[in-house]
Structures are given as C-alpha cells and as structure tokens.
Amino acid sequence: MFDIATSGELLAEFMAAEKGQRFDSPGRFTGPFPSGAPAIFASQAARLGARVAYAGRVGRDGFGDLVVERLRRDGIDVTAVQRDPERPTGTAFVSYQADGSRHFIFNLAHSASGQQTLDENALEHLSACRYFHVMGSSLASRGAIEILLRLVARVKEKGGKISFDPNVRPELMVSDGAREALLEVLRCCDLFLPSDADLEWLANDGEDTDATVARLMAEHPMSLVVLKRAAAGCRAYTGDEVIEAAGLVVDEVDPTGAGDCFGGALVAALAAERTLPEALRLANAAGAHAVSVLGPMEGCSDPTTLERRLAAAGDIS
C-alpha cells in the first residue's frame, strides 16, 4: 500500500545559462535535469517520507537513466516506469526571459513519454494507494488521459482519494480532449490544488476567487481546496472554514517546480495524518525552498531542510 501514487510525463530539462537567451542561436545550457511536473511532486512527497509509486516512460538512453535513477534514489517505486526500446527520453529546453516569463521547446508528445502504456498489473500496483495525484500538465494526449482516468477510477473503487493540480499550461493543452479530461478529474477529486490562474480559467463571468471555490465545492464532492498563491502562501477551504497561511520570504532563483513541490509536501503531510495547518505550513516551506534552488527537481526538500527554512523565516511552531 502506497501513501501516494502518480503517473505522467518524465523528461530531461536543459536550462539556458543567460536570461533572454534565444533558441535560434548557439548559447550555453545546463542539464540534463530530471523533470516533469508529476515527477517533481513525487520526489518532494518521497523526500518527506511518503511511500510513493510512479508510472511513466523514458527512453533507453542516458537521459532516461538519469530520470529513473533520481526517482529511485528518492525512494520512489519505479516498477511502472517503462523504458521505450526506440523513442528517446522526452526533453524540454527552457529560457528565462527578462520579464520573468519562460520560453520552452518541448519534445514530449513524440518522445518515449508519449508512448506510455499501463497494463492490468501496473494498474493494480499503483491503485493501492491512499492518494492518487493528477497533474493537469499530464492530460496532454489521448493516451495519457486514458491512463490517468483508468487510474483515477480504480483508485476510487478501492477507496483511495484523488488529489488534483490543474496546472493549466496552454502550450501543453494541445489535444482536443485535454479540457474535457481536466473537467472530469475536477468533478471527482477530493483535494483540489489550483493556482489563481487556474481559478480564473474556471471562473464564471464576474465571479471572484472565493465565489469560484465555493461554487466548485458545492457542485462537486471535493472536500478540500488549497489555493496556491506562490510567494503569498496559500489559502485552504474546507467545509466549514478558510485557513490562510502566509508565504516565506526567499530570494527567487528558479520558480520552476515550486507549485509541484508545494503539492507534494501538502499531500505527503496529509497522508501522514498531519493537521491541515501543519500541512499548509510545510507546503509553503517546500514551495519557498524550491524557488531558491536552480533546476526543476533540485529544490525538493527533506524535513530537516524545511524546518531550517521555517526557523529562518521566524516560524518557531
């Protein structure tokens, strides 16, 4: 029985060395870094002690070795991580712009990642979990959507909970079914983890954040919504209360993966029966630590790191 299981894109990421660096002329890049939103989430949860299982697919190449070895070293069960005999491991090139935005070149849909399959054995293996986490970024192809919806259904059958980070990224939402799949997971999740941008995308005309959350909780069976507000911390909505938890002040080095780390820490803490305020506090610290470290998955943190960061921020609880 796993505390947390997840499935989705695995890739090797290369980061442009200079701000504003272009993709159409030679420059310097650092990488490969293991990456993929669900992988960052899984790594963070595992580092906080959660028993985590992962399903995905990489190539039989050095980049694939890198990704699988990282998951394994974090203690993640990689039984359901496949190696494609022919297609290369997915890649992403990222360049930070002067205005803080990021430019990407992805090779994902036609990489090993896009060829992921899930047999009955793997489905049984992964669905034996307390929480199954879905990243909206993974709802990027018909194949990936089918795998995630089968997992969600099986986990619910067995009494597990679904956590969902919609993580709406227009550049990955290219398939026709992605929006529909996102709304389907939204309808059946227990724990919903949107950002302000995600809620804007889901809002009706003239509806503010609190009203959107209240409507979603009234329409769907979700019992907890945690709104991720980056540097501002987070706001949790349960049936009867709203809890604000302030963010930690850190020097931002690299925002990639911060929201994924926030989610990984939150679900790991809830799976470990921590109280909601404790879970929010750890999630804020994990997100803050993540932005202070260069590299998508390099900012995942263990409990000692989080306590040290909380202490440095003046939190002595």
Residues engaged in binding a second copy (CB under 8 A): 14, 17, 22-33, 61-63, 65-66, 69, 86-88, 91, 103, 105-107, 109-111, 295
Query: Whose Cβ is closer to a second copy: residue 12's or residue 152's?
Result: 12
We find the least distance from the C-beta atom of residue 18 to a second copy, in angstroms, to be 12
User: Which H or E element spans position 68?
Assistant: helix 62-73
Query: Whose Cβ is closer to a second copy: residue 17's or residue 312's?
Result: 17
Query: Whose Cβ is closer to a second copy: residue 171's or residue 244's?
Result: 171
195: which DSSP letter? B
Q: Are 44 and 133 in contact (CB under 8 A)?
A: no
Query: Whose Cβ is closer to a second copy: residue 61's or residue 196's?
Result: 61
We find the least distance from the C-beta atom of residue 101 to a second copy, in angstroms, to be 15
Query: Whose Cβ is closer to a second copy: residue 65's or residue 190's?
Result: 65
User: Which H or E element spans position 269?
Assistant: helix 258-271
Residues with Cβ within 8 Å of residue 243, at least 6 apart in sequence: 235, 236, 276, 277, 280
We find the least distance from the C-beta atom of residue 293 to a second copy, in angstroms, to be 13
Query: Whose Cβ is closer to a second copy: residue 109's or residue 253's?
Result: 109
How buried is 276 (Cβ within 10 angstroms: 0-12 exposed, 13-18 middle, 19+ buried)?
A: middle
We find the least distance from the C-beta atom of residue 9 to a second copy, in angstroms, to be 15
We find the least distance from the C-beta atom of residue 143 to a second copy, in angstroms, to be 15
What are the start-end ranges of the H helices in 158-231? 177-188, 196-202, 209-219
How buried is 105 (Cβ within 10 angstroms: 0-12 exposed, 13-18 middle, 19+ buried)?
A: exposed
Residues with Cβ within 8 Å of residue 222, at least 6 apart in sequence: 189, 190, 191, 192, 216
Tokens encoding 302: 């263990």
Closest by CA to 254, choosing from 74, 102, 139, is: 102
Query: Whose Cβ is closer to a second copy: residue 139's or residue 225's?
Result: 139
We find the least distance from the C-beta atom of residue 144 to a second copy, in angstroms, to be 16
Closest by CA to 165, choosing from 89, 257, 70, is: 257
We find the least distance from the C-beta atom of residue 302 to a second copy, in angstroms, to be 20
